[in-house]
Copies of this chain bind each other. A is one copy, B any other.
Amino acid sequence: MTAGKFEIKAYPEMWKDLDMDVERFDKMRLMLGDIYEKTYLSQKNRPSGMAYFDNMIAEIHGGRIKELLAAKKEGKPVIGTFCVYIPEEIVLAAGGVCVGLCGGSQGSVPDAEKILPRNICPMVKSAFGFKAGRICPYFQAVDLVYGETTCDAKKKTWEILDNMVSTYVMEIPQMKKQTDQDMWLAEVKEFKTKVESLAGKEVMLEELNRAVKTMNNKRKALQRINMLRHTNPTPISGKDVLLIEQIAFYDEPVRFTEKVGELCDELEQRIQDGVAVPGKNAARVMVAGVPMALPNWKLHNLVEGAGAVIVNEESCIGTRYYKDLMDEDGEDIETILQNLTRRYMQIDCSCFTPNNERIDQVLKEYRESDAHGIIHYSLQFCHTYNVEEIRIREACEKENIPYMFIESDYSPEDVGQLQTRVEAFLEQISG
């Protein structure tokens, strides 16, 4: 992989069959390959277990899409998502596949801005633009997009997206009272019915219990790698862990879990051997806030490019996805759905009010990751995270935790300014 130029593999015939804008997409493929090579393959002393994940990127527009299409051919539902709120257990139990959809790139934003307001979240615009421009093979391959009501921009954009691709919306509560739990249990049951109708079969108890185990194992593997990276000095770069957290949303879960496990074994050996990735005195940064969808490596690139290392992502593409397990071996389907509801209601998304659990969780992860400071990262116009940021900042001030807030988008325009701010912050926490 490291020898010669890195290239994301091209499958123009398949893309054509998927009704994609092949010519335009092929240019994006080459650009992404270049960025990946510069951002990832230039890193020194990477664990050899990263080769699998490099290959997942090389095959992001091909190998994985083939697997999805093969699943579809067998009548298995393929569901595209953007949110940690999708009850993946139910999709897996029905034999289906969940895949995160494209939404992390500036390239598709202008397509969205022809229709959507400009002053909404870049992730929502990017995702919408990928579908509008027919430049995301995942969007083209899915049977259904799973939407939810976690923020105003997404909630209302599903109504417009539904004209281009069938979009199913689950209502996510905004508080955590008993009535909210009841409402969400009803939503989970309705979703199960929807998935069963797509799969043409009912979900059985055994399948559901197996799916719960599969998801728990995946979460445990991610918890393990996150725990290992917390070691000081850390055996793996923040960029690499972020990549794994991103790939978690589109890889096949059993294989992914196995590969993360193998990498963890290697990291344990590294820790034993004293092999570390950054310099011994590298500043350790924890990131909190909004998810960084593939290929949004902007902040990690800046921080690690300046010689520091990121040791935790408190985010949906990060710990929020895997911190909570659910009870296994439910005796009947009703019990499992109740357990599942309870598990998903633990998610401390900023869509909740109040969301005190998240403040506590940020402080907990800060201590566990042995970080020197926190960067709260938000996307522009993300009202819930941007207002909640006030409370995170106050909590950090109270605990004397060095803190910086960054609000950014996907464009390269603010990179210079961010670099100056990041370097000043690193200077402060290294001192």
Residue contact A120 to B386, C-beta cutoff 8 Å: yes
> Is A3 an interface residue when CB atoms closer than 8 A count as contact?
no
Residue contact A179 to B182, C-beta cutoff 8 Å: yes
* Residues on B with beta carbons closer than 8 Å to the beta carbon of A115: 390
Residue contact B387 to A159, C-beta cutoff 8 Å: yes
Chain A window 170-184, contacts with chain B (Cβ cutoff 8 Å), 1 for yes, 0 for no: 010111010110110
Q: Name the interface residues of A333-390: CB closer than 8 Å to any CB of B.
A: 350-351, 353-355, 380-381, 383-384, 386-390
Which chain B residue has the least Cβ–Cβ distance from A117? B386
Which chain B residue has the least Cβ–Cβ distance from A187? B179
Partner-binding segment picked from A150-158, A197-205, A314-322? A150-158
Known: A179-B182, A182-B179. A390 touches B155 (CB 8 A): no
Residue contact B119 to A156, C-beta cutoff 8 Å: no
When all copies of this chain in the complex are counted, the total is: 2
> Is A391 an interface residue when CB atoms closer than 8 A count as contact?
yes
* Residues on B with beta carbons closer than 8 Å to the beta carbon of A158: 353
Q: Name the interface residues of A80-118: CB closer than 8 Å to any CB of B.
A: 115-117
> Is A169 an interface residue when CB atoms closer than 8 A count as contact?
yes
* Residues on B with beta carbons closer than 8 Å to the beta carbon of A149: 174-175, 353
Residue contact B391 to A152, C-beta cutoff 8 Å: no
Residue contact A179 to B183, C-beta cutoff 8 Å: yes
> Is A275 an interface residue when CB atoms closer than 8 A count as contact?
no
* Residues on B with beta carbons closer than 8 Å to the beta carbon of A175: 149, 169, 171
* Residues on B with beta carbons closer than 8 Å to the beta carbon of A390: 115-116, 160
A348–chain B nearest beta-carbon distance, Å: 14
A415–chain B nearest beta-carbon distance, Å: 20
Which chain B residue has the least Cβ–Cβ distance from A378? B117
> Is A186 an interface residue when CB atoms closer than 8 A count as contact?
yes
Residues of A within 8 A of B (CB): 115-117, 119-120, 149, 151-153, 155-160, 169, 171, 173-175, 177, 179-180, 182-183, 186-187, 350-351, 353-355, 380-381, 383-384, 386-391, 407
Could you give 19 example pairs across A and B, Cβ below 8 Å?
Answer: A116-B390, A119-B119, A119-B381, A119-B386, A149-B175, A151-B152, A152-B351, A152-B387, A156-B350, A158-B353, A159-B355, A159-B387, A160-B390, A169-B175, A169-B353, A171-B175, A174-B174, A179-B183, A179-B186
